[in-house]
Structure 1
């Protein structure tokens, strides 16, 4: 039987950060990836990472702090997320940002996105990030990566410690020993209909565009050994995708965070558009026939950000996914909503901006606590039919701030660690954009470091 100090399950951002961290510490590491390429859900993401205190923020004159980041995470999560995980993240995120840049990962630009009180969404190209970490792994002779090698079960010794992994390679079952620990970084279950039916029946009908390997394997393997789970009651889809979306070609736009509004097929607003797009998705799914539109004007269109995964509104136009009209009458006709209702909706919204009080939903900002809404009045006008997609599950096994997997009594399961989308407890009832990739990097590194040098937390 082969033996390594650390066995990592999954080659997304969390798993790759764990592999590099452990490899640079001199450990003998085996990473098993179920698919035929690395990346997992990471390469399907928008590429935002939530960091504060960076030189990018400083150069942009943005005043931010660990405390502000922590406050936002708690508020967006509805106060039901684990404060120990959030505090650890806030205290360690800047060091991880520097670690990532030191390893050659490029941060392109900075935006305020869902859940941010100031711009702290640092954008990476997820493919570049994964390939950069892979390039580093190839320089480490003590780290081995095996593709098309799905893990099947975790095995424990007579003392109850997880110390082996049963996996498949070229159709044959193999067992590998992990003398220091196993890190589960296998992603969520966005592509597993049985688990979605069990834990998110309210999302029946949402687009399924998650990572093709995301069937909850890691959660099931940890469950078998008594792992507790967190955040499953808060599963929601991601709002802002065109109904034609399929696979890796993303057709998402969040014009409402730049000043657009959301209306249903009756032409009425139904939500405060500045809240987390997970909660917006929940509200949208409750609308008649689940049909909704983002509506905006040229003032918002002028805020389009080229090559941005969420804010490149011009790209949506070039892909012919937008309705564009010179008048509200023409726009209402395009999207088949009652003109008089749409006009009244926009008039009330514009009036609320002038008086400083949204009479219907209390919107005061563009996103979370950041940005000032503008009236929708400058032609041409735009509409973007939008729906909800199951992209990532953001719920799973319970962990502590040492990335140790916990049983129902809050006790660590010996030898078992987890990081990334497979874990729960971090996001709670909402979702701050950039916190998923952020926690993957921070806790991927922590999982590797703590497995190699356990410390009581």
Structure 2
């Protein structure tokens, strides 16, 4: 440990082989991989706990050549997975990085085994078109399991984990990135990195300025799923000459508010428990497992557009209808008072939403939630009244306005009408941005590169920070990339630390590469 002067202040320098910025899935994967190779590692997370966007995800990983596939007699290949991934991406009008896509599909089977060795359990695989074979594996009991098991492994390996620690800048010395300067609860700090720094700090969905700059001015008001993802890593890398690829790409949509905590969604992800869950899901009837499945499913929080296709409408908290629900209603919801709205159905329409093909929400490959499932499991967002006035009272909107809104809708030329009680409101719903897909340009060694394609020495990236132009549409590819890119980036920077150590022992500075 040494001292260093920064902006007139004397700062203690903590010295490591590897510094990882970000404590989500990709950051934990990078830290674990580097530490497993015998390197000293610091993991810096600006939130008060680890998790990142990974802990807020649905939790699926798509992979070929898994034990789960073999148990079901499914023969698969990475070549077929690569071809099917390109089919997903064909609907997106943006450049893609086939080299990084190939790295993903070739390495995600090993990543899947690596996760299972740490105690993460999965149910599946299940099919999702245009995958030609079932590849989507769903984590049990939920995505918190990733962080639980990875954090345990990281601490066991001696990773120095620092939460509530925000990286304020990259330190560059002798032509290479050699560490970071941070703001901690105890003041300024510096962490040096012999091998380099890995940026796994997420995307920029949490920054209003970045949303306006890269997406559109109107997206500035749209709230993110993860408000901590403010593009810190992107900004620091840009200051050193890096560039962002596909900055306009993002995923946003309507979501129900998060459910209150309850026992079934707070189950600890112990290995014995998740194995029992998997065996039950695989071996017992759907009716036996359905109550448990639905308790998890209705926390997925994404309402199906099929409700609007069948005639449901959106009203704001004043009881007014404000958009054509079948024409991208999300941005209109974001412009309403409080940025909230309610989905309204009548009794006749609600009776049609009993599951596939008419469902309220779905967890891919698990099951489809009906109105009855929400009535039972999401009482916090399910309101019902025999009359419009009673429903208005329950959701806190003006009854006269709501009656007028529904009367006007029913008198329109649409064939669907809301005219038979009981009346149901689901919500509130919000329009949220899940994540952005604009990532720093990287090479196949996960080094951040500049406009000329040259590596910025000592700077690496993984996860959403280091997407590098790889289009990875479809369920399960983003998490697969997070863990896989994190592992590979951690391995590269660990190797760079060994090279630096050898050079130091020989009395020479390591060459930039």
Give TM class, smaller chain.
0.7 to 0.9
Shift in CA distance, 119/133, structure 1 to aligned 2, threshold 3 Å = same
Deviations 1:52-78 (A, max 9, x none): 221222334545432332223223233
Shift in CA distance, 133/148, structure 1 to aligned 2, threshold 3 Å = same
Shift in CA distance, 451/339, structure 1 to aligned 2, threshold 3 Å = farther
Q: Distance in 2 between matches of 1:155 and 1:413?
A: 12
Task: Tell me what 1:126 maps to.
Answer: 143
2:82 to 67, 70, 78: 70
Q: Is 1:152 equivalent to 2:152 in the alignment?
A: no
Matches within 5 A, 1:421-436: 421-428=464-471, 431-436=473-478
Give 1:170 deviation, angstroms.
2.1
For the 8 Å contact 2:245–2:441, the answer to whether it is kept is yes
Q: Distance in 2 between matches of 1:167 and 1:236?
A: 30
2:109 to 75, 83, 94: 94
Query: Which shifted more, 386-395 or 165-174?
Result: 386-395
For the 8 Å contact 1:209–1:247, the answer to whether it is kept is no
Query: Which shifted more, 416-425 or 17-26?
Result: 416-425
For the 8 Å contact 1:253–1:311, the answer to whether it is kept is no
Q: Is 1:253 equivalent to 2:302 in the alignment?
A: yes
Matches within 5 A, 1:290-301: 297-300=353-356
Q: Distance in 2 between matches of 1:64 and 1:287?
A: 43
Shift in CA distance, 105/245, structure 1 to aligned 2, threshold 3 Å = closer
Shift in CA distance, 224/114, structure 1 to aligned 2, threshold 3 Å = farther
Task: Tell me what 1:445 maps to.
Answer: 487
Deviations 1:228-262 (A, max 9, x none): 1111122341x3523x4599995523656xxx475
SS for the counterpart of 2:138 is strand
For the 8 Å contact 1:284–1:292, the answer to whether it is kept is no
Alignment length (residue pairs): 399
Q: Distance in 1 between matches of 2:432 and 2:260?
A: 11
Matches within 5 A, 1:15-164: 15-77=27-89, 78=92, 80-113=95-128, 116-124=131-139, 125-141=142-158, 143-158=159-174, 160-164=175-179
Q: Distance in 1 between matches of 2:332 and 2:407?
A: 15
Deviations 1:338-378 (A, max 9, x none): 59966589xxxxxxxxxxxxxxxxxxxxxxxxxxxxxxxxx
Q: Distance in 2 between matches of 1:309 and 1:195?
A: 34
Query: Which shifted more, 281-290 or 190-199?
Result: 281-290
Task: Tell me what 2:213 maps to.
Answer: 198
For the 8 Å contact 1:14–1:420, the answer to whether it is kept is yes
For the 8 Å contact 1:11–1:31, the answer to whether it is kept is yes
Shift in CA distance, 10/205, structure 1 to aligned 2, threshold 3 Å = closer
TM-score calculated relative to the size of structure 2: 0.67
For the 8 Å contact 2:166–2:184, the answer to whether it is kept is yes
Shift in CA distance, 34/437, structure 1 to aligned 2, threshold 3 Å = same
Give 1:283 deviation, angstroms.
4.4
Q: Distance in 2 between matches of 1:83 and 1:106?
A: 30
1:231 to 246, 268, 274: 246
Unmatched segments (≥5 aa) in structure 2: 1-12, 262-297, 314-324, 386-404, 500-511
Matches within 5 A, 1:269-284: 283-284=328-329
SS for the counterpart of 2:248 is helix
Task: Tell me what 1:316 maps to.
Answer: 374
Give 1:205 deviation, angstroms.
7.5
Task: Tell me what 1:165 maps to.
Answer: 180
Q: Distance in 1 between matches of 2:80 and 2:424?
A: 34
For the 8 Å contact 2:462–2:482, the answer to whether it is kept is yes
Q: Distance in 1 between matches of 2:116 and 2:107?
A: 15
Unmatched segments (≥5 aa) in structure 1: 268-279, 326-332, 346-379
Task: Tell me what 2:9 maps to.
Answer: none
Task: Tell me what 2:400 maps to.
Answer: none
